[in-house]
Amino acid sequence: MPLQHLSDDFSAQCFLVTLLVTLLSTSSDACGKPPKFENMQLNGSPKTSYMAGEQVQYSCRPGYRRRPSMKMSSVCAANGQWSPISKDACHKKSCPRLDDPTNGQVNYVNGSLEFGTQIQYTCNSGFFLIGEGTQYCLATGTDVEWSAEPPICSTILCKPPPNIINGVFSPSNKDVFEYNEVATYRCNQVPGQDELSLVGKRQIYCTENQKWSANPPECKVVRCPYPVIRNGRQTSGFRKKYSYRAQVTFQCNQGLFLHGSDTIMCEGNSTWQPPIPTCKSNPPPPPPTTSSTTNVSSVANSTGAPLDFGDLKRWSISLIMMAMLEI
């Protein structure tokens, strides 16, 4: 075969291959799936691949609003890339600003009213919250609104305190007591009978959790035994009967030492607290002292001022250096 024919056939084959590659490249898919955005969604269902020049449209997701001046479409370019879209094309909607509840406040936790933000309600002292204290700005359909109705701050009220046997409280003519309002108890004294003592809190008050600050007191007869100390004497609190909260003091005879407290009190269980002390010939043991640790970093010098070991070390080095120079 002549050489000229071989050259022509080779050129034709190269042309056909080039044409085939060109056709395949122009007919192949240029772009993959369109990009996803937090604030925008693709209109319609996405395809797995797109041809160069194809265009897709976006719309704002629930809770967002479109900025009219910005485009909401993207085009598949020949290089397989989608044309850019500004993330600011859709911005967050805002929930309505809410007024403070009566006797309370609303706090905008994130400092804004935008979609996704949070608010918290609190009540003034003496009031409690009825409703949702924490709420969120949520998307509902095409708009946004707060996740619940505004709560209210209601006055803290307590039921009347419990009645007690042989006693009463005042004021007793109320159906409810307001926050911090006080109820005062007293015992009924019956002529000819032993005196009743009020054991416990004489006054209790309505607290913020709608409960009383303490359990009610008791009205009962409290009698502690006559206080006797051997080898000693009572110095104060003399009386025929010792009832609730009565106090007495003691002193030992000369040459003896008091073991225990010199002052005791009659408690509600008809016992002396602390117990009646004793008088002994030997002194009581010293009270326990808290363990103290010696600071090893310093000692006291002759003037009583602390001498720091760091200074001592530097002083010693200086003396050694001076001695070496003299040698």
What's the CATH architecture for 29-92? Ribbon (2.10)
- Residue 1: pLDDT over 70: no
Tell me, what's the pLDDT at 43? Answer: 94
pLDDT tens digits, one per residue of 55-78: 999 999 999 999 988 999 999 999
Cα-flanking dihedrals φ and ψ of residue 53, to 5°?
95, -15
Residues of the chain with CATH 2.10.70.10: 29-92, 104-155, 157-220, 232-280
Task: For the chain, give the mean pLDDT.
Answer: 84
Rounded to 5°, the CA angle 290-294-297 comes to 150
CB 200 within 8 A of CB 188: no
| Selected residue with higher pLDDT from 322 and 122 | 122
Q: Residue 296, exposed/middle/buried by CB under 10 A (0-12, 13-18, 19+)?
A: exposed
- Specify the CATH number for 104-155; select among 3.40.920.10, 3.40.50.1260, 2.30.110.10, 2.10.70.10: 2.10.70.10
Cα-flanking dihedrals φ and ψ of residue 166, to 5°?
65, 25
CB 66 within 8 A of CB 41: no
The neighbour count for residue 169, using CB atoms within 10 Å, is 20
**157-220 belongs to which CATH class?**
mainly beta
Confidence of residue 205 (pLDDT cuts 50, 70, 90): very high
Cα-flanking dihedrals φ and ψ of residue 322, to 5°?
-65, -40
Q: How far apart are CA 184 and CA 177, in angstroms?
A: 12
Confidence of residue 87 (pLDDT cuts 50, 70, 90): confident
Tell me, what's the pLDDT at 274? Answer: 96
Confidence of residue 5 (pLDDT cuts 50, 70, 90): very low
| Selected residue with higher pLDDT from 290 and 201 | 201
Q: Where are the beta strands (DSSP E) in 156-231?
A: 157-158, 167-170, 177-178, 182-187, 197-199, 203-205, 218-220
Rounded to 5°, the CA angle 268-273-279 comes to 150
Beta-sheet pairing, 298-300 with 177-178 = unpaired
Superfamily of domain 232-280: Complement Module, domain 1 (2.10.70.10)
Tell me, what's the pLDDT at 147? Answer: 95
Calculate what percentage of the chain has a pLDDT beyond 70.
80
Tell me, what's the pLDDT at 9? Answer: 56
SS3 content of the chain, % helix, strand, coil (to 5): 15, 35, 50
- Residue 275: pLDDT over 60: yes
The single-letter code of the amino acid at 4 is: Q
Confidence of residue 193 (pLDDT cuts 50, 70, 90): confident
Tell me, what's the pLDDT at 3? Answer: 43
Tell me, what's the pLDDT at 137? Answer: 95
- The distance in angstroms from the start CA to the end CA of the chain is 113
Q: What is the pTM of this model?
A: 0.57
